[in-house]
Structure 1
Amino acid sequence: MPETTTFAERLKTRVPSWSHFLARARADERNIAYDLLPALGLKGRRRVGNIVSAFHPKTPGLKLSPVARSLCRDLRRDGFSAVQPPIASDILNDVVSYFKTTPCHDPYRPHLGTFAWDAVPSDEVNIGYFTPEEVLRAPHMLDLMNRPDVLAAAELYLGAKPVLDNIGCMWSWPGRDVSKGVQRFHRDYDCVRNVKLFYYLTEVDNEAGPHVYAKGSQRSRILETGKAQTDDTISEAFGPENVVRITGPAGSWFMEDVYGFHKGLLPVAKPRLLLAIQYNLYPSPHSPKAPIMDNPSGYDPYTNKVFLR
């Protein structure tokens, strides 16, 4: 069984030197909590999460639908929820059309510039990303981010009102030989307590790179190294029967505690378009320093404060 790690070992995940840490803190104060977070470990995350949530606002008389309760129950037990029914087809079509006509990019290969989803300039590109600004301006996006059942489940799970953060949309393409980045098992160290909402914007079966999660790993202290892990290591640590592939039709969605080990498989035969929306207790450095647009229709100003002014 893999061993747990020490505080000093975890600290090195993002703090190779204190000069590096101080430089990043001066550049963006959000980096302070972000860079120190891996050092906390599971128990530290829980303690600090309890303190932070205690001092953050709650929704008075929070109403929990059966769907919200079910989502939260699944998160606590397994680390991910059951796949939920697809969004309306007209909304799905609008969103997919937008991302098919908006160029994406590979941030690890900036020399390639932007490119269309069906004209990838190099087989070295596994994933094509959209910027937070591009995601936010997609049709229906604010409604997709602010689903009442999701916000209620997130608040129940986090212990305080969620803060929308780190929104992203990405294409993954078949025909690649090597998994890269989020296609390898990893934990997310963005906040002491957070969950993500995933939308499958295209059909995702075993040929289209399904999301994979190690069930129950959100409660485990092992492999807190901050590094990507191999399939064999995850199977040994949590049991192959607990490594779950999540498939679903276009428009379906699910929630996940991304502290648990997860990844997106390499697509085999079909490209995948995935929308990911994160709910934190506080903002991370993954989002803009200042809001991008005005609050158009009365969305909760606290929950949307990172993106809406």
Structure 2
Amino acid sequence: MSAAAATTTPFIERLRTRIPSVSQFLRRARTDRRNVAYDLLPLLDYRGRQTLGRLVCHFKPRTPDLAPSPLARSLCADLCEEGFTAIQPPIDAQVLGDLTAYFRSLPCHDPYRPHLGRFAWDQVPSDDINIGYYTPDEVIRAPHALALANHPDVLAAVELYLGARPILDNIGAAWGFAGRATAKGVQRFHRDYDCVGNVKLFYYLTDIDEDAGPHVFVRGSHRSSILETGKAQTDADIEAAFGTGKLVTLTAPAGSWFLEDVYGFHKGLLPVSRPRLLLAFQYNLYPTPHSPKAPVMDNPGGFDPYINQVFLR
């Protein structure tokens, strides 16, 4: 695709990517009112998202006397300029060990192949399964998960970036399996159309080198409406639109973490030699239909009830 052709897709076509009919839109709205904002969001390009995001922030709370640390300010500056942050040092080894032991002990699943049921991460029942997922309920109950999601520097950086206090939403953990022939789902370049303002926190729970499914981000694409189609994009189209110099591959040891504006184009590469385990927490300006309709557990104490309203009672 030429640079001239890499333009914004007409909004009706973008809308049909999410909701092909009015009847489906109304049915989804009745099922979960959060679907209304979620399904209409692809109508907006980058400028529209910015405008609506500022309006939403006007009605959202802010932390009184917010005093972000130098790290929080640095993380926010990276998000503004690049769309992702520098990779941060690994978390405590004991925390990492507890997390990986927890997820290794739980069976995962492929929501696109429910007939295969749940399976151990090292006993995948089909080569058609590229990714094994855990449910949000399972992720939020993982050891240290709440503490990691409520890291003070992360919360401050995200609030600075979004312009209002964030809401923890759309959390997940998943294995990417090695030796698969074709990329599927989030292994293809895509934008996340979850909210008018969203930042995701990624933790690598296994060592990630070039052969272990590293995350790839298109630098600066979080501030661009190029290839605004609502659909996944090929590597060739991304390279033609943005240039190969904008593609950043993030390798790091287990326990490392980074933040990202997931409206920018991103993907996880297919693992080649060994599986990868990834943990992710997303921060939005309002809840989305990706998370439970009602909180799933009591607040163990000390965690901000506004930020954690989706998951904690």
Provide the C-alpha distance between the structure 1 equivalents of 2:81 and 2:10, rounded to a whole number of angstroms: 26
Counterpart secondary structure, 2:253 = coil
CA contact (8 A) 2:7 2:228 kept: no
Matched, 1:109 2:113: yes
Q: 1:262 matched to which residue of 2?
A: 266
Aligned length: 309
Match of 1:97 among 86, 95, 101: 101
Match of 2:232 among 225, 228, 231: 228
Q: 1:271 matched to which residue of 2?
A: 275
- TM-aligned CA deviation for residue 222 of structure 1: 1.1
Q: 1:194 corresponds to which letter in structure 2?
A: N
1:44-92 deviation per Cα after TM superposition (whole angstroms, max 9, x unaligned): 1111100001110000011111110111101111100000000000000
- TM-aligned CA deviation for residue 93 of structure 1: 0.1
Provide the C-alpha distance between the structure 2 equivalents of 1:70 and 1:116, rounded to a whole number of angstroms: 39
CA contact (8 A) 2:189 2:234 kept: yes
Structure 1 segment 131-280 matched on structure 2, within 5 A? 131-280=135-284
Q: 1:14 matched to which residue of 2?
A: 18
Provide the C-alpha distance between the structure 2 equivalents of 1:15 and 1:178, rounded to a whole number of angstroms: 26
1:118-155 deviation per Cα after TM superposition (whole angstroms, max 9, x unaligned): 11111110000000001011101110110000000000
Q: 2:77 matched to which residue of 1?
A: 73
Provide the C-alpha distance between the structure 2 equivalents of 1:122 and 1:16, rounded to a whole number of angstroms: 31
**Mind listing any 5+ residue stretches in structure 2 that lack a counterpart?**
none
Q: 1:49 matched to which residue of 2?
A: 53
Provide the C-alpha distance between the structure 1 equivalents of 2:29 and 2:239, rounded to a whole number of angstroms: 37
Match of 1:305 among 290, 303, 309: 309
Q: 1:282 matched to which residue of 2?
A: 286
- TM-aligned CA deviation for residue 160 of structure 1: 0.3
TM-score w.r.t. structure 1 length? 0.99
Q: 2:43 corresponds to which letter in structure 1?
A: A
Matched, 1:23 2:39: no
Q: 1:283 corresponds to which letter in structure 2?
A: P
Give the percent of matched residue pairs that are identical in Structure 1 and Structure 2.
68
Provide the C-alpha distance between the structure 2 equivalents of 1:231 and 1:258, rounded to a whole number of angstroms: 17
Counterpart secondary structure, 2:23 = helix
1:178-230 deviation per Cα after TM superposition (whole angstroms, max 9, x unaligned): 00000000000000000000000001000100000000000111111011000
Provide the C-alpha distance between the structure 1 equivalents of 2:258 and 2:80, rounded to a whole number of angstroms: 14
Counterpart secondary structure, 1:129 = strand
Provide the C-alpha distance between the structure 1 equivalents of 2:269 and 2:278, rounded to a whole number of angstroms: 12
Q: 2:89 corresponds to which letter in structure 1?
A: P
Counterpart secondary structure, 1:164 = strand
Counterpart secondary structure, 1:87 = coil
Provide the C-alpha distance between the structure 1 equivalents of 2:233 and 2:218, rounded to a whole number of angstroms: 12
Q: 1:86 matched to which residue of 2?
A: 90
- TM-aligned CA deviation for residue 15 of structure 1: 2.3
Q: 1:268 corresponds to which letter in structure 2?
A: V
Provide the C-alpha distance between the structure 1 equivalents of 2:213 and 2:173, rounded to a whole number of angstroms: 15
TM-score w.r.t. structure 2 length? 0.98
Runs of 4+ with deviation above 6 angstroms: none
Provide the C-alpha distance between the structure 1 equivalents of 2:14 and 2:43, rounded to a whole number of angstroms: 4
Q: 2:221 corresponds to which letter in structure 1?
A: S
Provide the C-alpha distance between the structure 1 equivalents of 2:47 and 2:65, rounded to a whole number of angstroms: 30
Provide the C-alpha distance between the structure 2 equivalents of 1:24 and 1:123, rounded to a whole number of angstroms: 33
Provide the C-alpha distance between the structure 2 equivalents of 1:35 and 1:81, rounded to a whole number of angstroms: 29
Q: 1:40 matched to which residue of 2?
A: 44
- TM-aligned CA deviation for residue 6 of structure 1: 2.0
CA contact (8 A) 2:60 2:164 kept: yes
1:75-118 deviation per Cα after TM superposition (whole angstroms, max 9, x unaligned): 11110000000000000000000000011000000011111111
**Mind listing any 5+ residue stretches in structure 1 that lack a counterpart?**
none
